[in-house]
Structure 1
Amino acid sequence: MSGLQTWADTDTNPNTAISELTKTFFILIALNTFVKNEYMGIRLVTQVVFVLMTLSLWGQDVFSYKGRVVNKEGESIVGAQFTLEGMDRVFYLTDENGSFDFQTDRQTMILNQMGYKTQTVKSGEALIIMEDETSLLNAIVVTENKRETQLKNATISMEIISPDLISNTAPTNMEESIGRISGVQVVDNQPNIRSGSGWSYGAGSRVQVLVDGVPMLSGDAGQPLWTFVPTEGIEGVEIIKGASSVIYGSSALNGVINIKTKKSKSKPFTQVSVSGGFYDLPKRESLRYRGRKRNSLSNITAYHTGLYNGIGVTAGLNMLNDEGYKMGDYDKRVRGTLGLRKVFGKKNLIVGLNSTYQSGTSGSFLLWENYNLGYTALDSSTTDNIVSRVSIDPYIKWQKGKFNHSLNTRYLVVNNEVDNGDSANDQSNFSDLVYAEYQLQLALPKKKFNATAGLVAINSVTRSPLYLGKQKASNYATYLQLEKVWNRLTATGGARYEYFKLNDRSEAKPVFRAGLNYKLAQYTFLRSSFGQGYRFPSIAESFISTSVGPITIFPNNNLQSETGSNIEFGVKQGLEFKGWQLMLDAAIFQMDYENMMEFTFGIWEFTPPFDFKAGFRTLNTGKTRVQGSEFNIGFQKKLKDIDIQGFVGVTLTRSESLSPNEIIAQDSTGQLISYASTSSDTFGYGLKYRPRNLAKADVMFKYKKWRFGAGLVYQSQMKNVDLAFTEGIIAAVIPGVQESIDKKLTEYMLINARIGYAFSNSLSTNFLVSNISNKEYAIRPADLGAPRSVRLQVTYTLDKSK
């Protein structure tokens, strides 16, 4: 409990008053003893002031607050904030039991917590029940400003994946759930938002992926570790579309994906899911590389949370055995997670530690043998990876007065032992990463002003022949973002300064952002934003040296950093009628890039007359632009026995090279490399490996014990690829890409469906079919997508709060 602060803001109790009265008594004795009689006037005035001040303190009322804060299910709410009404500081935090116990001179306090409605609390209330603020029209997000805000007030485009959609679709990896959102694709594990990226196998990501605000990118390649991200215990996913480097750094050039996990509960909660199924046979017989045998997959997830000796505990387990649908492309893994959290309510302090361990084997598939053997690996060669990963993430959060402090840290170790059958081509790699971020937030609710500032340090070291030995990368940054609200208008602005060092090479650069949101009517919001992005080359892009069959991946340690900017105008309109809630969102956007880094084919090693190596190298491709529009509708209806929710989204883009004839490199044969000379289709100067149009939709319908769901994914044709895929060297050794283009395999519509039944509050089942029509389609050149798959999931839940 706080001590004496000011005469107008004192946390008073009888002991404090007695102590102050005693002090005053001794001060009066000293005045009468040591002050001379000629200063009698001053002495009398001073004594009167001290007596009045002490009596005012003695006369203050003391109000006690003691009890618990729970939700409507009776679960304790941890970290709920008691604030002094009309003042800008947090007074008390509830502990792991949701308990509070303090005294103050205020008869009422303000209570708030993310995801719940703010309410006024009176002294003497022992049980406080907070109401959910989870409606579609008032959804809460934290990713834009790293603090709690309402989605409708965002100055940028954001999407939310609800925990219901994640659990209802039973993903084996989080990238499956991410790929269901409009405007978002995942190609070879690389996320792509609004055509901001093409195809860059195993290279750095333009989208920052976070788990609870902490980056989940590998230290060497800078790519998302999807299999390392837990699918159990997920609270939801938030996606920012557009450059967000001011708050989230280099990898947020194209956007941010923040995966939020569930926090510990006071009452035990346990959930176990077991699923199994198979990949169906492709329609074309030539694609059945195992004959009539269907590849299977099985998955077990378990999640538990509870409170033990005042410490909140979360634990998760995942065991997957996925034979995959392509030759050599499989995944067998075990992953465990453990989270510990302790709340010290009287000190406004939270400390915790999250840790994850993963071990397993997996295979990878890069290119097909040919069009008729689309699921057979090139030369039938396979690569086996023995993977082990460990992360340890200590954190601490504390509040003092008007300031919120947090320190998030991570130590990540990744070890891949690779067996590709070629001892001369060792692809094994080891890397470790140390991350730390200190963040300070100032909140002044009365003045409707918020400030967020931070310091970031990231150091990564890799040791691998895959990356030409030992490489070291460092990144240091500081940032500041301000937010001010005037009635209907919200304005944000921020800046970040980045410093990078890769071995002996270093550079630094500032980036800026600004945004406006105007409340035109009760549920009508106009927004505009400008953001800059900046990405330094990853270790992999600079130093990778490997091969797959006759195709070689070459390093390029002369890569320059890429920069970009995003301008957007949007409107969000909420509607509510007859129990329905709808949220309509429309946006137009433009993204401009300088020195964009892209995979480019060439003959990069040549010894006359016939000895050469051809393959891909990451190059700076000059100036590019992506323009487009996006339309989304979210809907929700909840009645006694009926729950309907879903979304429909369409993204229309036009990407182009602004310098199509600029010479960006020269290969070993003297061939000049440009956009025009390496593109299979230069009409409109569209960028490579990007469809123009995407459409996504999903609906979930719950009636009593039954659950139904369906999803749709549409992608227009990917018209431009590397010219070498359609004519020349690759076309000769990997035939069939032009044939797949002619058959428009990259243009497709997939329909997924699911049906579930709850036998009781504890036991439920879910039957899922993906790609119902068994559509043959291509994700990119020389890589077919998954055929129809069928799975059955059984879930057992034990929830002591119900």
Structure 2
Amino acid sequence: MIFLLLVFGFNLYTQILQIPDMKKLLLFSIIFLFVIISYSQNAVLKGRITDAQTKDVLIGANVIIDPKTGTSTDVNGKYSISLKPGEYEVTYKFIGYAPEVKKIKLKDGEVRVMDVSMHVEIHTINEIVVSAGKFEQRLSDVTVSLEVMKPARVESMNTTNLDEAINQIPGVEISGEQPSIRGGSGYSYGAGTRVLVLVDDLPLLSPSSADPKWNFLPVENISQIEVLKGASSSLFGSSALNGVINIRTAYPGEKPETKISTFMGTYMRPQRTALVWDRNAPQSMMGTNFLHSRKIGNLDLVVGGNLFSDDSYREKEFEKYGRLNANIRYRDKKIQGLSYGVNTNYMYQDKQEFFLWRHADSAYHQNLSAVTEIQGSRLNVDPFVTYHSVEGHRFSLRSRFYHENYINPDNQSQNSRADQIYSDFQYQKSLTDSFNLTAGMTVAYSEVNANLFGDHYGSNISFYSQVDKKIKRLSLSGGFRVEYAQVDSTQTVSQFEIEHKGKMLLEFPFFPVFRAGANYRLADFTYLRSSYGQGYRFPSVAEMYTTTSLGGLKIFPNSNLRPELGESFEIGIKQGVKISNWSGYLDVAGFYTKYKHMIEYTFGLNKPDTVPIATIDYYGFKAFNIGNAEITGVDVTFAGEGKLFGLPATILLGYTYTNPIDLNVANDSNKTTDNAILKYRFYHSAKGDFEISYKKITFGLSFVYSSFMVNIDKAFEEPIIPYSNIYILPGLKEYRETHKTGHIVFDNRIAYQLSDMIKVSLVTKNIFNVEYMARPGDIRPPRNISLQFTMKF
């Protein structure tokens, strides 16, 4: 390079000799400056950013030189930035970690290596979440209500199915495996959900019934569980009408880890001896799960599995399954910032479900005509590729192939098979340290083959975008989504229409949903927020086409169902708390939710017009768009950690009040009362968990309270045909009249750390052996005790 500059300079010199002296001097000065500038070289600052304690690399950490200059780390935690020689103050930031500031002086052409170890901010209010905006944020900065459950709590409760743990989260109720957030859903007979369940940001609902399968979720590999409250369709799609439950799985740290957990348990006798159906021996349950994670060069590998067997506490009910899963990710050596891999999960199960009792007096005895056994498998395979550019652009393509195949060995008419392909392409860019853009599109296609409702296909395509901007103390968020959904020949009702003089000029068959939110930091650890979101849910194949019968309960199809619409608004405040050696937060939120064309099952006569005489065969349940509903309420959560009498302790308390009003109560004669409250809802709900440790001993206590379920379907209490003696659930009316006070259930756990590797725990659920009902005919388990052994190395 120097040689070329000298040649170039000599040629210019020979020409300059012919120019007058003053002009020569000026031109010489310009050329000299040009040569110096051309020859000077930028310096390079590079390095690796890690967690100071675990030594794990921090992906996406920000390296900030000034408001307009900076970069972020790639999938290997590395960064590199070219700078002019000089003095700089470099700020290293990552969500949930204390910022690091380094002063450096760079020389011409210098390559400076600056590795940085960052320390976690020890505040519950600063937990890192993703679900609120599809990028990492502090819990205190999000504009919506969001709850977080850590894996340690899931493990300590000896969780076999994740719905057990999620039901402990404030504001969440799971009834008959149907999730509901703030009273947004009732009981829907295993078809359809207004709460979208995600695993690693991808939906995991059955293609046929559009409901979550809790035993398929990988309880052995949990990074954390995030529950987003309120309509969230703008980012997550049509099933997120009432909220989102996002289960995030974990990748390996710097050190290999193996975890094995096994337990054995037994159900105790219920207080009411009439419930006992097998007096020979108490029923038992047992299970084992394992997880191994490690890094092998640039390869991240996680392998896990679970075996479970439950004899159940009720007659003609059992569950057995085995599950195997893996997360594999490779960080490309040649292309900086590129990673790709596949996650997969497979399960085989044999399950006999309890659906209807014989009579309330013997509620653990099943109606033998309703016994249903299901055998089969589920599989998901999730390939993905992610690219982080040096300039801070992030591209990701995540896909999921989902397959389920189930048979009923005693009733072939209930066999089913379903397949689904889902893909999400996303672009993300932090345009500045305080401005984030997320945009993407999703495509899904599913096929269902089932004797219950025939062969059907569905397709979905959507486009979404969200921007998040931080202006000093104010965080703003806004987003939208347009979505097209189709089942067979039924498609989304057009929402964008332009008419002129009675003539339709434009029809746009995509359904639009929007959201907006703001979070303002009033003071240190005081955050005021407000948000508005719209939701949308297309009816499931099961709701539209199912024809079946269980005992005296019959289900009829309705192919004319319309999509559900919803919107939610909330205002809340999150106050960080620091008292002595305790830290935590208090969160209070008021919310309003409105639904249009709400889909609910209604009992009645469903006789075709071609049938002249009505018989008992045509009485049953059918899904209808019942009309409009409003839900208002208050949600309060307190979470803290600190020391009690010098011992480390944690506490979580939550209370939710909901007033779920059916705006069409005058037209609804199918409820058990004239009260306007929606069916299968509670006015009051409270949750709590407390844990304290002394040396090697840990003690925990949790509780769940639900007030009385005021309204259910009248058909469950009255004869199927008036003045007859044929009931779906005999004795239910009398049972509910004697159980009107709601219920509170306590669980406790005691763990002893035998060594650095081995822990033994005694877990007791329903300590006081309370008899309570989650849905009509579903009496929950009596006191049960489990002994759990956990080994980590």
Give the letter for the 2:537 counterpart. R
Instruction: Give how far 1:522 is off.
Output: 0.9
Instruction: Give how far 1:42 is off.
Output: 11
Q: Aligned match of 1:700 in 683, 691, 694?
A: 691
Structure 1's 73 and 84: CA in aligned 2 closer, same or farther, altered over 3 A?
A: closer
Give the whole-Å Cα distance in 2 for the aligned partners of 1:429 and 1:705. Answer: 50
Deviations 1:494-539 (A, max 9, x none): 1111111111121131111111111111121111111111111111
Q: TM-score, normalised by structure 2?
A: 0.90
- Report whether the alignment pairs 1:721 with 2:712: yes
Partner of 1:671 in structure 2?
none
Partner of 1:418 in structure 2?
408
Instruction: Give how far 1:747 is off.
Output: 1.4
Partner of 2:98 in structure 1?
117
Give the whole-Å Cα distance in 1 for the aligned partners of 2:21 and 2:607. Answer: 100
Instruction: Give how far 1:76 is off.
Output: 2.8
Instruction: Give how far 1:22 is off.
Output: 6.2
Instruction: Give how far 1:732 is off.
Output: 2.5
SS at match of 1:621: strand
Give the whole-Å Cα distance in 1 for the aligned partners of 2:151 and 2:31. Answer: 60
Instruction: Give how far 1:113 is off.
Output: 4.0
Report if the CA contact (8 A) 2:62-2:94 is conserved. Answer: no
Counterparts of 1:399-798 in structure 2 under 5 Å? Answer: 399-400=388-389, 401-419=391-409, 421-423=410-412, 426-446=413-433, 448-468=434-454, 470-507=455-492, 508-605=510-607, 607=611, 608=613, 610=615, 612-637=617-642, 642-661=647-666, 674-675=667-668, 677-683=669-675, 685-729=676-720, 732-744=727-739, 747-798=742-793
Report if the CA contact (8 A) 1:715-1:746 is conserved. Answer: no
Give the whole-Å Cα distance in 1 for the aligned partners of 2:548 and 2:745. Answer: 34
Give the whole-Å Cα distance in 1 for the aligned partners of 2:548 and 2:5. Answer: 81
Give the whole-Å Cα distance in 2 for the aligned partners of 1:384 and 1:282. Answer: 25
Structure 1's 75 and 604: CA in aligned 2 closer, same or farther, altered over 3 A?
A: same
Give the whole-Å Cα distance in 2 for the aligned partners of 1:582 and 1:86. Answer: 33
Report if the CA contact (8 A) 2:441-2:464 is conserved. Answer: yes
Instruction: Give how far 1:637 is off.
Output: 0.6
SS at match of 1:175: helix
Q: Aligned match of 2:368 in 376, 379, 394?
A: 379
Give the whole-Å Cα distance in 1 for the aligned partners of 2:711 and 2:64. Answer: 60
Instruction: Give how far 1:129 is off.
Output: 2.5
- Report whether the alignment pairs 1:326 with 2:281: no
- Report whether the alignment pairs 1:59 with 2:40: yes
Structure 1's 353 and 656: CA in aligned 2 closer, same or farther, altered over 3 A?
A: same
Deviations 1:216-255 (A, max 9, x none): 1111211112111111121111111110111111011000
Give the whole-Å Cα distance in 2 for the aligned partners of 1:22 and 1:537. Answer: 74
Deviations 1:57-91 (A, max 9, x none): 5434635645x544343433253536352256774
Partner of 2:107 in structure 1?
none
Structure 1's 610 and 116: CA in aligned 2 closer, same or farther, altered over 3 A?
A: same
Deviations 1:273-305 (A, max 9, x none): 011101112122221122242111111111111
Give the whole-Å Cα distance in 1 for the aligned partners of 2:20 and 2:138. Answer: 62
Structure 1's 483 and 552: CA in aligned 2 closer, same or farther, altered over 3 A?
A: same
Report if the CA contact (8 A) 2:355-2:370 is conserved. Answer: no
Deviations 1:124-148 (A, max 9, x none): 6676322113521322211111111
Q: Aligned match of 1:170 in 143, 158, 181?
A: 158
More displaced, 700-709 or 102-111? 102-111
Structure 1's 284 and 80: CA in aligned 2 closer, same or farther, altered over 3 A?
A: same
Instruction: Give how far 1:105 is off.
Output: 5.3
Give the whole-Å Cα distance in 1 for the aligned partners of 2:626 and 2:467. Answer: 35
Report if the CA contact (8 A) 1:117-1:130 is conserved. Answer: yes
Instruction: Give how far 1:41 is off.
Output: 12
Deviations 1:357-413 (A, max 9, x none): 111211222221110121222235421111211111111222232422221111111
Give the whole-Å Cα distance in 1 for the aligned partners of 2:482 and 2:580. Answer: 50
Instruction: Give how far 1:570 is off.
Output: 0.9
- Report whether the alignment pairs 1:256 with 2:258: no
Deviations 1:187-241 (A, max 9, x none): 1211100110011012111011111111111112111121111111211111111
Q: TM-score, normalised by structure 1?
A: 0.89
Partner of 1:5 in structure 2?
none
Counterparts of 1:73-472 in structure 2 under 5 Å? Answer: 73-77=53-57, 79=59, 81=61, 83-86=63-66, 91=71, 93=73, 109-120=90-101, 128-344=116-332, 347-379=336-368, 381-400=370-389, 401-419=391-409, 421-423=410-412, 426-446=413-433, 448-468=434-454, 470-472=455-457
Give the letter for the 1:467 counterpart. F
Deviations 1:698-725 (A, max 9, x none): 0111222110100011100001111111
SS at match of 1:234: coil
Instruction: Give how far 1:264 is off.
Output: 1.7
Give the letter for the 1:681 counterpart. T
Instruction: Give how far 1:575 is off.
Output: 1.3
Give the letter for the 1:182 counterpart. P
SS at match of 1:56: helix
SS at match of 1:623: strand
Give the letter for the 1:390 counterpart. L
Give the whole-Å Cα distance in 1 for the aligned partners of 2:555 and 2:31. Answer: 82
Structure 1's 71 and 169: CA in aligned 2 closer, same or farther, altered over 3 A?
A: same
Give the whole-Å Cα distance in 2 for the aligned partners of 1:324 and 1:410. Answer: 33
Instruction: Give how far 1:321 is off.
Output: 0.9
Structure 1's 422 and 358: CA in aligned 2 closer, same or farther, altered over 3 A?
A: closer
Give the whole-Å Cα distance in 2 for the aligned partners of 1:333 and 1:63. Answer: 55
Give the whole-Å Cα distance in 1 for the aligned partners of 2:13 and 2:476. Answer: 59
SS at match of 2:680: coil
Instruction: Give how far 1:445 is off.
Output: 3.0
SS at match of 2:191: coil
| Structure 1: runs of 5+ lacking an equivalent | 1-17, 662-673
Give the letter for the 1:537 counterpart. P
Give the letter for the 1:128 counterpart. V
Give the whole-Å Cα distance in 2 for the aligned partners of 1:43 and 1:191. Answer: 84
Deviations 1:400-447 (A, max 9, x none): 32422221111111111123x334xx111111111111111221335x
More displaced, 381-390 or 172-181? 381-390
SS at match of 1:227: helix
Give the whole-Å Cα distance in 1 for the aligned partners of 2:204 and 2:46. Answer: 41
Give the letter for the 2:259 counterpart. Q
Report if the CA contact (8 A) 2:552-2:727 is conserved. Answer: no
